[in-house]
Amino acid sequence: MDLGLLLDNLTNPALLFFMLGLLAVYLKSDLEIPGTSSKFISLYLLFAIGFKGGQELSHSALDAQVLGVMALGLVFAGAVPVYTFLLLRRRMSVENAGAIAAAYGSVSAVTFVTAAAFLEIQHQHFGGHMVAVMALMEAPAIVVGMLLIRTFSSERRLQAGSRQVLSHAFTNSSVLLILGSLAIGYLASEEQAQGIKPFTTDIFKGFLAIFLLDMGISSGRKLKGFLEHGWFNTGFAMVAALVNGCLAAWISGAVTDSIGDRFMLSILAAGASYIAVPAAMKIAVPKADPGLYIPMALAITFPFNITLGFPLYYLLATHT
Q: What is the pLDDT of residue 156?
A: 52
The model's pLDDT over 187-245, given as tens digits with 9 standing for 90+, comes to 988 888 888 888 887 888 888 889 889 888 887 887 765 665 568 888 999 999 999 99
Is 26 inside a domain boundary?
no
Is 125 inside a domain boundary?
yes
pLDDT at 256 over 90: yes
> What's the rounded Cα separation, in Å, for the pair 76 and 190?
34
Q: What is the pLDDT of residue 172?
A: 64
Q: What is the pLDDT of residue 168?
A: 60
Residue 66: CB atoms within 10 A of its CB come to: 22
CA-nearest of 192, 59, 78 to 127 is 59
Is 25 inside a domain boundary?
no
The model's pLDDT over 130-163, given as tens digits with 9 standing for 90+, comes to 888 887 787 788 888 888 888 887 665 555 555 6
pTM over 0.75: yes
The H or E element spanning position 166 is helix 162-171
Is 164 inside a domain boundary?
yes
Domain of 68, CATH number, reads: 1.20.1530.20
The model's pLDDT over 7-32, given as tens digits with 9 standing for 90+, comes to 777 777 878 898 899 899 889 999 98
Is 118 inside a domain boundary?
yes
Confidence class of residue 63 from pLDDT cuts 50, 70 and 90?
confident
Q: Give the structural domain span for 165.
A: 3-20+34-319
Q: Which of the two residues, 57 and 169, has the higher pLDDT score? A: 57
Count of domains observed in the chain: 1
Is 156 inside a domain boundary?
yes
Confidence class of residue 48 from pLDDT cuts 50, 70 and 90?
confident
The model's pLDDT over 76-129, given as tens digits with 9 standing for 90+, comes to 999 999 999 999 998 899 999 999 999 999 998 889 988 998 998 899 999 888
> What's the rounded Cα separation, in Å, for the pair 175 and 279?
12
CA-nearest of 144, 113, 105, 142 to 130 is 113
Is 284 inside a domain boundary?
yes
What value does the mean pLDDT take over residues 247-272? 95
What value does the mean pLDDT take over residues 173-190? 82
Average pLDDT, the chain: 84
Q: Taking the alpha carbons of 276, 150, 83, 258 in that order, is the dihedral positive or negative?
A: negative
Contact 240, 57 (CB under 8 A): no
Helix axes 64-88, 129-152, angle to 10 degrees: 30
Is 263 inside a domain boundary?
yes
pLDDT at 260 over 90: yes
